[in-house]
């Protein structure tokens, strides 16, 4: 990320860093079971998202990561148990208040046909508009800041469906940023991005976290999770196997338990964080 992008990320939103005395969990899943029709995916899952954290969820394909994120954003109703936002059941939060509090970038979002990048990003401002309050300067600034933070200014007038996969992904991230929610849930935000853009998105997440926001992301890359997260959640078969600091979760035992992969863990020479190296056959 360039200095300018960091500056924009750090200037995004007016979310004051929480006082140290505040209790630490904004978003909690308590005994959460959820799924689709006959198929139960999440099994009495307990999760605490620490306030002000960059929480990253890892786990094998189909273990329920997206289902969990959708439940946290109230896109999926629990079969039992509940999701708590600031201590109250999320089921009772009015829709607009929820949209101003939690932003979600789904795993495979679909844009309306022919919509431009700028129009897509502007949709992130809908929860901030009311009957009396139309498009404002604050909306304009939020959209521009989000386009700048994601390097999308030059592509603002292009139709979303004519972008490359990586550009499209960044347009969606910009939309989620324009929403300026204190909580941001991102489902595989680095998919389709080349390595440099992956790092840029992760650095952007880290900058937003430092600025006081709480982020929850699903990431495929275990080492990126261990490197960038402040809190790591490891899932398997609809349950949480471990959650904690990257140093606590990034062990060979856990990689074996969660992914069934033999590895060894060394210290990342750049960051001191755990670095997982798969064993040679």
Ligand X SMILES: Nc1ncnc2c1ncn2[C@@H]1O[C@H](COP(=O)(O)OP(=O)(O)O)[C@@H](O)[C@H]1O
Residue ranges in contact with ligand X by CB under 6 A: 36, 39, 41, 59, 61-67
Positive or negative, the CA dihedral 156, 159, 199, 61 is: positive
Q: Per CB under 5 A, does 66 bind Mg ion?
A: yes
For the chain, report the end-to-end CA distance as a whole number of angstroms. 37
Q: In whole angstroms, how close is the CB of 65 to ligand X at the nearest point? A: 3
Place of tokens 């069934």: 260
Ranges of H-type helices in 58-164: 65-72, 95-101, 117-122, 137-149
Nearer to ligand X, 153 or 261 (CB): 261
48-182-233 Cα angle (round to 5)? 30
Q: Per CB under 5 A, does 12 bind Mg ion?
A: no
Q: In whole angstroms, how close is the CB of 89 to ligand X at the nearest point? A: 22
- Two structure tokens written together for 222: 């275990």
CB of 267 closer than 8 Å to CB of 273: yes
How many CB atoms are closer than 10 A to CB 226?
24
Q: In whole angstroms, how close is the CB of 257 to ligand X at the nearest point? A: 16
CB of 219 closer than 8 Å to CB of 54: no
Name which of ligand X, Mg ion, none residue 28 binds, using a CB cut-off of 5 to 8 Å depending on partner kind: none
Nearer to ligand X, 52 or 59 (CB): 59
Name which of ligand X, Mg ion, none residue 110 binds, using a CB cut-off of 5 to 8 Å depending on partner kind: none
Name which of ligand X, Mg ion, none residue 61 binds, using a CB cut-off of 5 to 8 Å depending on partner kind: ligand X
Residue 63 pairs in a beta bridge with none
Name which of Mg ion, ligand X, none residue 36 binds, using a CB cut-off of 5 to 8 Å depending on partner kind: ligand X
Integer Cα distance of 28 and 47 in angstroms: 6
Q: Per CB under 5 A, does 211 bind Mg ion?
A: no
Nearer to Mg ion, 5 or 107 (CB): 107
- Helix, strand or coil, per DSSP, at residue 54: strand
Q: In whole angstroms, how close is the CB of 37 to ligand X at the nearest point? A: 7
- Two structure tokens written together for 263: 């590895």
Nearer to ligand X, 9 or 235 (CB): 235
- Two structure tokens written together for 8: 């924009």
- Sketch the per residue contact string, 67 through 106, with Mg ion: x for CB under 5 A, - otherwise: ----------------------------------------
Name which of Mg ion, ligand X, none residue 41 binds, using a CB cut-off of 5 to 8 Å depending on partner kind: ligand X
Q: Could you tell me which stretch among 65-73, 108-116, 173-181, 265-273 binds Mg ion (CB under 5 A)?
A: 65-73
Nearer to ligand X, 178 or 215 (CB): 215
Q: In whole angstroms, how close is the CB of 235 to ligand X at the nearest point? A: 7
Query: CB nearest Mg ion: which residue?
Result: 66
Place of tokens 């029709």: 37
- Torsions phi, psi for 220 (to 5 deg): -85, -35
CA-closest candidate to residue 74, choices 92, 53, 55: 92
Nearer to ligand X, 65 or 228 (CB): 65
Q: In whole angstroms, how close is the CB of 79 to ligand X at the nearest point? A: 13
CA-closest candidate to residue 106, choices 41, 31, 168, 39: 168
Nearer to ligand X, 48 or 66 (CB): 66
């Amino acid at each position: 990320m360039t200095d300018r992008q960091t500056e924009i990320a750090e200037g995004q939103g007016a979310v004051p860093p929480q006082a140290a005395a505040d209790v630490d969990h904004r978003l909690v899943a308590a005994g959460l079971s959820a799924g689709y029709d006959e198929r139960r995916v999440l099994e009495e899952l307990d999760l605490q998202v620490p306030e002000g954290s960059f929480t990253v969820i890892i786990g094998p394909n189909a273990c329920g990561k997206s289902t969990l994120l959708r439940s946290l954003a109230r896109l999926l109703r629990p079969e039992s148990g509940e999701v708590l936002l600031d201590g109250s059941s999320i089921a009772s939060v009015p829709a607009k208040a929820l949209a101003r509090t939690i932003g979600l970038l789904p795993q495979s979002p679909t844009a309306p046909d022919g919509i431009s990048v700028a129009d897509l990003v502007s949709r992130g401002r809908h929860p901030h508009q009311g009957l009396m309050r139309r498009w404002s300067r604050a909306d304009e600034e939020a959209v521009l800041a989000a386009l700048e933070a994601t390097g999308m200014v030059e592509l603002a007038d292009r139709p979303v469906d004519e972008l490359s996969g990586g550009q499209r992904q960044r347009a969606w991230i910009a939309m989620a940023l324009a929403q300026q929610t204190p909580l941001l849930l991102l489902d595989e935000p680095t998919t389709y991005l080349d390595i440099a853009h992956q790092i840029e998105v992760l650095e952007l997440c880290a900058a937003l976290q430092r600025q006081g926001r709480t982020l929850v992301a699903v990431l495929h890359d275990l080492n990126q999770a261990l490197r960038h997260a402040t809190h790591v959640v490891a899932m398997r078969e609809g349950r949480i196997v471990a959650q904690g600091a990257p140093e606590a979760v990034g062990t060979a035992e856990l990689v074996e338990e969660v992914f069934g992969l033999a590895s060894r863990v060394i210290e990342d020479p750049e960051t001191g964080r755990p670095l997982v190296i798969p064993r040679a056959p």
